[in-house]
Structure 1
């Protein structure tokens, strides 16, 4: 998780070091050193506080992606960059700092939703890109910081272009499908109980099943008027899947839950949506992390 921290920038020191380095090289290396200094100066001129990040900003982290930071390099989205801010919100209703775990839990729940508004088709994201977020620390909270910045960022590799470019060209039926599908998987993961087994928290797992069933009902309503052979097949399959989730939500004991959950979870296998996605003209490569979950 990437976090904020209030800190005074030391960009001036870096600029001085870059310039002084020119005098320490031979004449044959002066040109390379000048180019290097220019690149360094350009990077420093682009440094911005993480407190000033806005939706749509493309950037490169200074060092490791995860960890505390106070500044990043803002770059035009047409240039190679590691991350882009895709959503933001304020943590409201908390008078005192709720703690790192609580803040992370809020971001875990809200950021997928906010990111989905910006780049709806997560299957179309560049390879290696994951959801990260900058959150307040205890120190920055004391100064009034309540903002969470949600980003899609790669820990190794860069891409060009804005992630929102494809979203602007989506057709109504594509948007309807993605809105519902994203909500289903958000419901699944946002309501995942902390307990490792159903025996430890049957009520928690039943609550998760209820949330997924509700999301599936909404998804089915959203795509009911979309025409197409494959989307029709997917609708029928999701109707059956929704019924299994409802059975899991109403299970009276652990055994009954497991019987329903097995078919319910299998019914959400993203591989079963590929044909419908192709028919709708959406990305058809299942993200590696999702493929791994259902392969297991």
Structure 2
């Protein structure tokens, strides 16, 4: 067996004897590696790729292509395309086609944006976007339609409701929809609620003109904008009837207006509504606290009774209705005398004496008889929780959308 030369300086130019590396010993015999070091690994010179891997794709070219396809920030897409072409040439990367494509599409997009800005098309697009966002933020129900809420409640928050037939059970019935006025700044929950409260209560009688036909367990609710929906243009308030019992529903429509009533019913209900409006304006102060404001109001009741009695007397009624209405007009004239005396009372006791007498003729037997002849509801409502438009009635509330 030949052995390597001894260590020391030797001249590589001098001929040497034959050299043969010793055969590798089995692993484990001298430790983890053969006795003359670890097994050799092949190395590669700099710049040599053993598996012929392709050159990488330029990332800027990809970004330019994406912006060009989306037509988003076309000027940026064009600049990135130019930068990508320079980098690709310098680095030998791939993606030249993507850079060119992105630059071309970005150039086209840039021209289109310039044309839109010059002709006002961009403004139209933005307005269309806002209109679409506003529509998506508003409810999909209109006056006269009935709906169910996802949770079955008319309190809290909701994103939408499901329209259902009014003939069956439902959570609510829309009777009015209107838009609030206001700028871009949200006016606050309190203001929005106050507007909804005042307007919805004033609009309910135009939809349900026969107030006697509205059940005792039904009250006014409303859907209002939230701060988020306001920011995208939502100003819509939806007024609806709902059951004051969260576990109960409504059945059948409460609508009775010019679309469902005949001329005789309308004439009678318009007179009744005018009187109800005046009675609802009764002062909050008792006569002992402010006699003058109460006597002034009594004078207004007197005037309204006179006007509406004249309207009923001047209407031509069917033969079956003529006599009941005449009896009602007679009672209205008698009530008017009492209210006139209350209007001239010098002390609270005298005022309340005629006040009570005048109220005895309101919604009395002759009113029920006339309603029955006209085919209207005949059960007088309870005025214990009567709302005067201030939004203080029990059971009312709203949903934010």
Q: Is the pair's TM-score, using the shorter chain for normalization, greater than 0.5?
A: yes
Shift of 1:237: 0.4
Q: Does 1:194 align with 2:302?
A: no
CA distance in 1, matches of 2:233, 2:364: 41
Q: Which residue of 2 aligns with 1:6?
A: none
Shift of 1:56: 1.9
In terms of fraction of residues, the more helix-rich structure is 1
Q: Which residue of 2 aligns with 1:36?
A: none
Q: Which residue of 2 aligns with 1:235?
A: 329
Segments of 5+ residues of structure 1 without an aligned counterpart are 1-47
Please tell me whether the aligned partners of residues 97 and 141 of structure 1 are also in contact (alpha carbons under 8 angstroms): no
Choose 226-235 or 132-141, whichever is displaced more.
132-141
Structure 1 291/177 Cα, relative in aligned 2: closer, same or farther at 3 Å?
farther
Q: Does 1:255 align with 2:349?
A: yes
| 3-state SS of paired residue (2:250) | coil
Please tell me whether the aligned partners of residues 81 and 158 of structure 1 are also in contact (alpha carbons under 8 angstroms): yes
Shift of 1:60: 2.8
2:339 to 236, 245, 251: 245
Shift of 1:271: 4.8
Please tell me whether the aligned partners of residues 192 and 205 of structure 1 are also in contact (alpha carbons under 8 angstroms): yes
CA distance in 2, matches of 1:201, 1:113: 27
Please tell me whether the aligned partners of residues 138 and 234 of structure 2 are also in contact (alpha carbons under 8 angstroms): no
Please tell me whether the aligned partners of residues 121 and 178 of structure 1 are also in contact (alpha carbons under 8 angstroms): yes
Please tell me whether the aligned partners of residues 206 and 248 of structure 1 are also in contact (alpha carbons under 8 angstroms): yes
CA distance in 2, matches of 1:263, 1:108: 33
Shift of 1:184: 1.4
Structure 1 135/91 Cα, relative in aligned 2: closer, same or farther at 3 Å?
same
Shift of 1:277: 0.6
Please tell me whether the aligned partners of residues 86 and 118 of structure 1 are also in contact (alpha carbons under 8 angstroms): yes
How many residue pairs get matched?
Answer: 242
Shift of 1:138: 8.2
2:208 to 119, 134, 154: 119
Please tell me whether the aligned partners of residues 220 and 241 of structure 2 are also in contact (alpha carbons under 8 angstroms): yes
Higher relative contact order (CA 8 A, sep 6+): 1
Question: TM-score when scaled to structure 2?
Answer: 0.49
Structure 1 179/50 Cα, relative in aligned 2: closer, same or farther at 3 Å?
farther
Structure 1 134/209 Cα, relative in aligned 2: closer, same or farther at 3 Å?
farther
Structure 1 112/206 Cα, relative in aligned 2: closer, same or farther at 3 Å?
farther
Residue-by-residue CA offset, 1:28-71 (whole Å, 9 max, x unaligned): xxxxxxxxxxxxxxxxxxxx866665322312345575644344
Residue-by-residue CA offset, 1:204-251 (whole Å, 9 max, x unaligned): 433443443343233223311244211111001011212322333343
Q: Which residue of 1 aligns with 2:239?
A: 150
Please tell me whether the aligned partners of residues 324 and 373 of structure 2 are also in contact (alpha carbons under 8 angstroms): yes
Please tell me whether the aligned partners of residues 65 and 155 of structure 1 are also in contact (alpha carbons under 8 angstroms): no
Question: TM-score when scaled to structure 1?
Answer: 0.64
CA distance in 1, matches of 2:336, 2:182: 34
Q: Which residue of 1 aligns with 2:157?
A: 69
Q: Does 1:163 align with 2:254?
A: yes
CA RMSD of aligned residues (A): 3.8
Please tell me whether the aligned partners of residues 210 and 256 of structure 2 are also in contact (alpha carbons under 8 angstroms): no
Shift of 1:181: 0.6
Which structure would you say has the larger Rg?
Answer: 2
In terms of fraction of residues, the more strand-rich structure is 1
CA distance in 2, matches of 1:281, 1:193: 34
2:143 to 51, 55, 70: 55
